[in-house]
């Protein structure tokens, strides 16, 4: 049976851990608010861009000269670029492990193709670097301060590889933010670009040929999808960490309660033992 000193020391240790997890939860909650605002602000722009792109695509489809944009070229997917967005830090529950397992499952499902990884985030980079995966690039620290320019550079690199036929498809793998309590694992094919179809397209008056506008809009669309994926992943990460730290704080409180109850039982047993020894000594003295 452990001594009272050992039990008190363990209770003190759990209380210190509880203070840390509570502080981490508050920090993640504050960061989640800002990240959620960025995600909500980016969604209308992305939706409107898809709508405009669909209208332009409808105009291009009705044009006599078909579009020959290289970002629309469909080839057999023998070489795939998978852009994996993970977190730079842990203590976020199963946030990173689900992403890494999904990336491994994606590679297994496309066993006949060569899957190259573009890794964003320290956790994914460390995992696949140790296992000798084929990596085209690594980016760390982007989720802390998401910037459009950083993700646009990665998107331009992927588009250049696609145009040069170094790869046949580009996929994004990330956690999409749904709420503070849930995230959705998302695998989206970005290239070749899927032109959204509009049921009732707007009849625009184009100053320049629609095909030229499509050539200008497609790279912007791809860059926006990359940047939006980073924002979604950043918000989902803070939500997952806040939930995990809240659960850790609650578990610490339960453990402190159980240890305190156990300590009281041990102390009561010790006092009872001492009383019995005193009574037994007094009886023996008589």
Domains of the chain plus CATH, in order, are 4-25+243-281 (1.10.287.80), 42-242 (3.40.1380.10)
Q: What is the pLDDT of residue 200?
A: 65
Q: 145 falls in which pLDDT band (50, 70, 90)?
A: confident
By the 10 Å C-beta count (0-12 exposed, 13-18 middle, 19+ buried), 233 is classed as buried
Position 92 pLDDT exceeds 60: yes
pTM for the model stands at 0.84
Residue 236 and residue 231: Cα distance in Å, rounded? 9
Position 53 pLDDT exceeds 60: yes
88 versus 4: the higher-pLDDT residue is 88
Q: 230 falls in which pLDDT band (50, 70, 90)?
A: very high
Helical H segments across 144-209, by residue range = 148-163
Position 95 pLDDT exceeds 70: yes
Which residues, in sequence order, are CB contacts of 107 under 8 Å at separation 6+?
82, 115
Q: What is the pLDDT of residue 216?
A: 85
Q: Do 39 and 232 contact (CB within 8 A), yes or no?
A: yes
Q: For residue 187, how many other CB atoms are within 10 A of its CB?
A: 13
- Vertex 153, ends 67 and 121: CA angle to 5°? 125
Classified as helix, coil or strand, 276 is helix
Residue 161 and residue 150: Cα distance in Å, rounded? 17
Position 67 pLDDT exceeds 70: no
Separate counts of helices (H) and strands (E) for the chain:
5, 5
Q: 62 falls in which pLDDT band (50, 70, 90)?
A: low
What is the strand order of the sheet 114-120 is part of? 135-139, 114-120, 79-85, 169-179, 182-191
21 versus 206: the higher-pLDDT residue is 21
253 versus 2: the higher-pLDDT residue is 253
- Average pLDDT taken over every residue of the chain: 86
Residue 244 sits at φ, ψ, to 5 deg, of -65, -40
């Amino acid at each position: 049976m452990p001594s009272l000193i050992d039990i008190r020391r363990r209770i003190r240790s759990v209380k210190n851990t509880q203070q840390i997890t509570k502080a981490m939860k508050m920090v993640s909650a504050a960061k989640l608010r800002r990240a959620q605002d960025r995600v909500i602000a980016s969604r209308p722009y992305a939706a409107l861009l898809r709508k405009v792109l669909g209208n332009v695509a409808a105009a291009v489809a009705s044009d006599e000269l078909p579009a020959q944009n290289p970002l629309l070229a469909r080839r057999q997917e023998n070489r795939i670029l998978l852009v994996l967005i993970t977190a730079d830090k842990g203590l976020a529950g199963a946030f990173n492990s689900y992403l890494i397992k999904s990336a491994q499952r994606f590679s297994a499902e496309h066993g006949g193709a060569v899957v190259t990884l573009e890794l964003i985030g320290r956790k994914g980079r460390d995992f696949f670097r140790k296992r000798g995966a084929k990596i085209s690039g690594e980016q760390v620290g982007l989720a802390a301060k998401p910037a459009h320019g950083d993700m646009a550079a990665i998107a331009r690199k992927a588009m250049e590889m696609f145009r040069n036929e170094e790869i046949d498809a580009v996929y994004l793998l990330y956690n999409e933010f749904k709420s503070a309590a849930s995230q959705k694992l998302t695998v989206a094919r970005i290239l070749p670009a899927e032109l959204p179809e509009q049921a009732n397209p707007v009849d625009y008056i184009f100053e320049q040929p629609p095909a030229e506008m499509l050539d200008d809009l497609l790279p912007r669309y791809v860059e926006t999808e990359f940047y939006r994926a980073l924002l979604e992943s950043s918000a989902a990460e803070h939500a997952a960490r806040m939930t995990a730290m809240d659960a850790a704080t609650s578990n610490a409180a339960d453990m402190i309660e159980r240890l305190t109850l156990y300590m009281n039982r041990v102390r009561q047993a010790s006092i009872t033992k001492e009383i019995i020894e005193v009574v037994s000594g007094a009886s023996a003295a008589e």
